[in-house]
Amino acid sequence: MGQQPFNWRDKSVLVTGGTGSFGKQFIETMLADYSPRRLAVLSRDELKQSEMSTQFPAGKGSPMRYFLGDVRDADRLRRAFDGVDIVVHAAAMKQVPASEADPFEAVLTNIIGTKNVIDAAIDCGVERVFTLSTDKAVNPVNLYGATKLVSEKLTVQANTYGQSKGSSFACCRYGNVVGSRGSVVPLFKKQKINGKITLTDERMTRFWITLDEGVRFVIRSIENMKGGEVFVPKIPSMKMSDLAEALAPGVKKVSVGIRPGEKLHEALIGEDESRLVREFDDYYVLYPAYQSWSDEDIATDGNPVGDRFRYQSDSNGWELTQDELLKITDLD
């Protein structure tokens, strides 16, 4: 991405779901490399905030602030967003089985929560709002993916109401985060001790990205967003069977069958979206199909992709090797 003038030191930044894997890495990176004027965490778990504040303390001389609250609570968001310039919306219910078991809970957090973030941001004059999405939002087959697709649509079309008031909205999608809470990597590490790794299907492939790569991609996208984009990084894929062998070489692998709501392969860009996509050196941008908020076409850079283009984990062309996986999981 071409860098544009953007001074984080002048900004007040808030991240929803800030005590999660992404949020903690985002806070650490912001403090180390960008030094924003103010850096706030909003989340609903007081224990995690207490633990996090020992590493990133608030108080006199610190940019850190902590807000207890839930994205389901619109009034609390308006209070927390007062004076905020940039909101990174990372709060989500993201476990596929939990979303299938309690679907309306996922709707309340991932859809109604996103609507509340949008409304509060516009009411409080937040300059930029950036929503994290997932490959599971592309042609979704489970409720989690469906809620994140709706979250994307809400965020993009929020520009219709926001841009006239100085608020711009954009999103990003990326794949599985190596080592994040609830991911398969720590699961396989635990199973290795017991001498048996469970695979749902040996043919299964997934996109992979590290936490640091995900955070830095989000930061760069915020710097370059105009409003209405869905940013997609170019990242490697890997077969789950190869991942299991890399993490637990020689350990027995048992196929247990694909779980409800799972895909054999994931997509970051679907074929039906290709007409709206432009390619850059290390990322793609999906531009809005319906840009009602401005007569200016934001899709002016990059190269159009072909009409039959799709970005899918089994045909990615960039495969993560076992050695590369071991390096990024610190197991080599």
- The residues carrying an active-site annotation are 136
Is residue 136 within 8 Å of residue 207, measured between CB atoms?
Answer: no
How far apart are the C-alpha atoms of 16 and 77, rounded to whole Å? Answer: 9
- Which residue's structure tokens are 């002048």? 10
Beta-carbon neighbour count of residue 50 at 10 Å?
11
Beta-carbon neighbour count of residue 26 at 10 Å?
26
DSSP characters over 108-154: IIIIIHHHHHHHHHHHHT-SEEEEEEEGGGSS--SHHHHHHHHHHHH
Q: Which amino acid is at 21?
A: S
How far apart are the C-alpha atoms of 90 and 114, rounded to whole Å? Answer: 10
How far apart are the C-alpha atoms of 152 and 171, rounded to whole Å? Answer: 7
Is residue 12 within 8 Å of residue 38, measured between CB atoms?
Answer: yes
How far apart are the C-alpha atoms of 104 and 159, rounded to whole Å? Answer: 26
Angle at Cα 258 formed by Cα 149 and Cα 140, nearest 5°?
10
User: Which CA distances in Å does 196 have to 122, 188, 202, 258, 323?
Assistant: 51, 9, 15, 17, 21
Is residue 30 within 8 Å of residue 39, measured between CB atoms?
Answer: yes
How far apart are the C-alpha atoms of 319 and 236, rounded to whole Å? Answer: 5
